[in-house]
Amino acid sequence: MAELRMREALRDAMAEEMRRDESVFVMGEDVGVFRGAFKVTDGLLDEFGERRVRDTPISENTIVGAGVGAAMNGLRPIVELMTVNFSLLALDQIVNHAAAIPYMFNGQAKVPMVIRMPGGGGHQLGPTHSHSFEALYLQVPGLLVACPSTPGDAKGLLKSAIRDDNPVVFIEHESLYGVKGEVDDGDELVPFGEARIRREGTDVTIVGILKMANVAMEAAETLAREHGVSAEVIDPRTLRPLDLDTILDSVAKTNHAVIVEEGWPHGGVGANLSTLITEQAFDHLDAPPQRVTGADVHMPYSKRLEQAAIPHQEHIVSAALATLEGAMP
């Protein structure tokens, strides 16, 4: 095991897969000379050259479209978009082409590509650089959606994504790039559709998405220390496919559920999970599932307002205590 920052773990995953398979290449804005907006592609140009680390024009629709074409012709592109917000400019290519082409051609054409996108708030980048669009891509058939919260999972999931024959939307939280964690030195893959139980507990199940899995861990410590509550924390790691069985098994044990995400409340990941839990584990619930989400506002630029729009551990603690009391917060 080595201790790496998440950006380093992601870089190593790409480098290892590029060494293993010559059909893998990286493309995106400033991924070469500038080493990526968040320095995730640092060193790749020096090792693999311009042929396999390609700086592109500032046109997300063009970048993703070129990636789709390359994937259909036998390559495995890793497309980096500078932020998930800018993926909206490529929504036609992602939804109508990357996701739909294998279906429309009855599997005769595959689109094995990874679209890496940083997102999330907390850096005072304003509303057009701070979105959390996990729910948007979760809804699209044909896409796989990965949301790692630790360096180790980020590396293993990205390696799995690169080898998969389906298009993968790989969402990385901007606040996690500098976070350190243990990363396997070998060729360990993290399978899609397998959640990780970050902490075992008996009183309440807390499901955290992306960065919120880490915030949920902090909240679980507070719940145990200050309230004597044993919280089980689950990180889904991938939202499509979703390991619902692990979540349902946990709810069957704890009889209470809290879902935490940074995205907006209406039609979000938490709304989806809350419905699935209610539908499939209703008899196990002692109270309605609680949702902790970002505020229903555009992300403010002001630091204090931005922090007020993002969930924190105290919000998770309050939601857990509320569901244990059987009342809405």
Q: By the 8 A CB rule, do 153 and 190 touch?
A: yes
Q: Report the alpha-carbon distance of residue 50 to residue 32 in Å, rounded.
A: 8
Measuring CA to CA, which residue among 184, 172, 326 is closest to residue 256? 326
3-state secondary structure of 76: strand
Long-range contacts at 184-190 (CB < 8 A, ≥ 24 apart): 184/1, 184/152, 184/155, 184/156, 185/1, 185/2, 187/16, 187/159, 188/155, 188/156, 188/159, 189/156, 189/159, 189/160, 189/163, 190/152, 190/153, 190/155, 190/156, 190/157, 190/159, 190/160, 190/237
3-state secondary structure of 107: coil
3-state secondary structure of 127: helix
Q: By the 8 A CB rule, do 232 and 205 touch?
A: yes
Q: Report the alpha-carbon distance of residue 288 to residue 279 in Å, rounded.
A: 11
φ, ψ of residue 318 in degrees (nearest 5): -60, -40
Active centre residues (catalytic): 60, 129
Q: Report the alpha-carbon distance of residue 263 to residue 61 in Å, rounded.
A: 24
Q: Report the alpha-carbon distance of residue 184 to residue 143 in Å, rounded.
A: 27
Please name every residue paired with 114 in a beta bridge, in sequence order, or none if there are none: 78, 168
How many helices (H) and strands (E) in the chain? 12, 14
Q: Report the alpha-carbon distance of residue 260 to residue 278 in Å, rounded.
A: 16
Q: By the 8 A CB rule, do 138 and 93 touch?
A: no
